Structure 1
C-alpha cells in the first residue's frame, strides 16, 4: 500500500514539474511576442505576405497544369509529360470492365477537387502496354504515386484500403498521404477511425503494396 502511495506521489511531482516547464515555455513565447517592435511586426507581415503570394502563384501553376480535375490520359507520352509538369501525380491504371476501377474513379474525382496541389489522372492499361510493363503493373486497379517524375509508391487493389469495396474517400486520402503525394492533415500513423477493424489494421504501417498479393482484386492484368 505504501509503495503504491509513493509511486502516486512521484507521478504527481513529475506531472507538476512537466506542467511548470510548459508554463515557462509559454510565458517565454508570450514575452517574446510582447517585446516585438514595429520593425519585427513589419518583417512578420512581409514574410506572411510573401508566403501567401507564393502560394497563389503555385495555385495558378497547378490550375494551368490541369489540377483540380480528374482527367484521362490517352497515351504513354501524355503520362510522361504530366509527370514532368506536376510535382505530385496520382495516376490510376484501369480497365473499363473492372467494377473496382469505377470505385477508384469515384474517390479520386472527389480528391482531385479537394487537393489542388496534386494532379489526379487515369490511363487505360490496355492503351499503355509499355508503361504497364515498365512499372510491373499486373493487377488492376493499380494507382501509381509519382513524385518529381519518379514513381514513389503503388496502391494495388484494395488491400491497403481495408480489403473491402465500401472504403471511404478519407481512407484513400490517408493512404495517398502516407506517400506525401498530398497535404494530409490527419494522423498518418493510422487510418481514419471509420475504417478501423478488428484485424489491427490501425496499427499497421503500409508501404509498397505492389509487392504483396491481393486476392480480392478484380483481376490480374
Structure 2
C-alpha cells in the first residue's frame, strides 16, 4: 500500500511539473509575441516618420502642384532636387497644350513623388533645341537626371483630344515617371495602342552629357 501511495504521489508530482512547464512555455511565448508586436510598432512608426519627412521634402521642392518655370536655369535646378520630373513643353498659342495642362494639374496633386512642371519653348530656346523639342505639346519624363521618355503630341494617348487623365497617368507610368499600381499591360482608353507604346524602345539621354543623341521626335 505504501508503494502504491508513493507511486501516485510521484505521478502527481510529474503531472504538476509538466503543467508548470507548459505554463512557463506559454508565458514565454506571450512575452515573445509582445516583444515582436512592440518591434513591429516601432518599425511602423519609423516608416511613417520617414514617409512624412520625405513628403515634406517633396513639397519643399515644389511637388504636389503643377507649376510653370521661367527658364532653362530653373529647369536644371529642378532636376538637381527631384528624382522624377514630368515637364510639359508648351506654347501659349497651341490649344492642345491647354488640354495637357488640365490633366497634369490633376496628376500633380495625386503623385507627390514626382514634380510636374511646364516650360514655354519660346522662352527656353536653348533647352528646346538641346532636347530636340519639335512637336507641341511634348512631355519629357526626367528620371534621375536623364530624359528617359517623351509623349509627343497625342498619338500615345489614343490619338484623340478626349483622352482621360487615367490614360495620361498610364502613359507616364510607362516612362517610370510616377509610381503606379494599375495594370501597365492595358491602357485605360485604347487597348490597341499598348503594343506600339511598349515596343517603342526610346533611349535615355543624360541631361549633363556633352554629346546629344537624337530622341526620335516626329514633326507635324
Are 2:90 and 2:138, in contact at CA under 8 Å, matched by a contact in 1?
Answer: yes
CA distance in 2 between counterparts of 1:69 and 1:173 reads 15
Match of 1:89 in 2: 85
Distance 1:39 1:180 in 2: 39
Q: Which residue of 2 aligns with 1:105?
A: 101
Residue aligned with 1:37, SS: helix
CA distance in structure 1 between the aligned counterparts of 2:64 and 2:199, rounded to whole angstroms: 27
Unaligned runs of 5+ in 1: 1-33, 215-219
Alignment partner, residue 216 of structure 2 = 211
TM-score normalised over the length of structure 1: 0.75
State the secondary structure of the residue aligned to 1:89: strand
* Partner in structure 2 of residue 136 of structure 1: 132
Alignment partner, residue 166 of structure 1 = 162
| Gap change, CA 1:189 and 1:96, over 3 Å in 2 | same
Distance 2:74 2:217 in 1: 29
From 182, 193, 208, the equivalent of 1:201 is 193
* Pairing 1:146–2:142 present: yes
Give the TM-score taking structure 2 as reference length.
0.75
Going from structure 1 to structure 2, the CA distance change for 1:174 and 1:69 (only over 3 Å counts) comes to same
Larger Rg: 2
> Aligned residue for 1:120?
116
Name structure 2 gaps, 5 residues minimum: 1-29, 204-214
C-alpha distance after superposition, 1:12-53 (max 9, x if no partner): xxxxxxxxxxxxxxxxxxxxxx9x722222222222111111
1:69-95 deviation per Cα after TM superposition (whole angstroms, max 9, x unaligned): 110001100000011111111000000
Extract structure 1 runs of 4+ deviating beyond 6 A: none
